[in-house]
Amino acid sequence: MKRITVVLLVVLLAAMTLFAQGSGENTSGKKVVGIAQFVQHPALDAATKGFKDALVEAMGDEVVFDEQNASGEINNCPTIINGFVSKNVSLILANATPPLQAAASATDTIPILGTSVTDYATALEIDNWTGTVGRNISGTSDLAPLDKQAEMVKELFPEAKTVGLFYCTAEANSVYQIEVMEKHLAALGFKTARFSFTDTNDVSAVAQKATTSCDVLYIPTDNTAAANTEAIANVVVPAKLPVIAGEEGLCSGCGVATLSISYYDIGYATGKMAAKILKDGADIKTMPVEYAPQVTKKYNKSICEQLGIPAPAGYEAM
């Protein structure tokens, strides 16, 4: 009899565990949120922190996080996401475009929130973009006004002739930004030249090519570049090639100026969206993608001094 009782208890506990996993909760009944961050660098780190802060503020210890980092390797993203799907987590945060694309391919039922994603239509190959994905995906965009960034080039370097565009071809949103920036820069009278790389191994060599061919270098919100700012700075600073960066983390590592959003703020906004879904039962299919409430002109005092560039008026020192 005792043996039968023990067996029944084991079966019951196993059933309870499976039920908890199937409902997106752990064995203590807490909601499990899977966080897939593409690479470790200040911008994405800030977005993850903002997300967690907002969600914990709203739900306290009712939520737990399973954090995974793809270390900048696109092929790692499906593995991470598939792990979350097999656990049937309550919600997935995809921090950057590659994790978002992997999550979109892996599940059409678990809610997916993106952050640090520039253009959802490009990332998800959506025609006739209306602002809402219309399925189990929403989130926040890190898109700063590209026309204003192009105007910064004109404002700070009016004598420049050619602007180099430095980006990773493996990142769909980087390609999107470069295509848009080419048009804005051409309208301002600049010639442009593309300097693309496929992964970290090419960054220094491609940066070296740029130093002999352009007057200013523009780098969009590119994760591979952001993870390799030291390597870029080691090339462009000695060559006296100024960099206009798409976001503050890039600028702090290798740029002279940026028109940047706050990644913490968009992460925090994404966390508030997650709370609406997990706590209030909001339907993610009807939630429009949100954007940063403000942008700020900032400059890198250290690199500006090294390049002999005066502190620009109206810019905030980082």
* 63, two tokens: 């939520």
16 and 41 part of one domain: yes
How distant, in Å, are the alpha carbons of 109, 129, 264 from that of 52? 22, 29, 10
| 255 and 214 within one domain | yes
Q: What is the pLDDT of residue 26?
A: 61
Q: In terms of domains, do 124 and 171 share one?
A: no
User: Are 10 and 128 in a shared domain?
Assistant: yes
**Residue 185 is part of a domain; what is its CATH number?**
3.40.50.2300
In the prediction, which pLDDT does 12 show? 42
**In terms of domains, do 211 and 82 share one?**
no
CA distance 106 to 239: 45
Q: In what order do the strands lie in the sheet with 290-291?
A: 63-69, 31-37, 91-95, 112-117, 137-141, 290-291
Q: Are residues 78 and 32 in the same domain?
A: yes
Q: Are residues 189 and 300 in the same domain?
A: yes
Same structural domain for residues 95 and 178? no
Query: Per-10-residue mean pLDDT for the chain, 318 residues long?
Result: 43 42 62 97 95 98 97 96 98 97 98 96 94 97 94 96 97 94 98 96 96 96 95 98 95 95 95 98 97 92 97 93
Number of domains in the chain: 2
- What is the structure's pLDDT at 27? 54
Range of 107's domain?
2-142+263-287
Quick one: 73 and 205 in the same domain?
A: no
94 and 153 in a common domain: no
Regarding whether 129 and 47 lie in a shared domain, the answer is: yes
Q: Which residues pair with 316 in a beta bridge?
A: 298
Shared domain check, 159 and 64: no
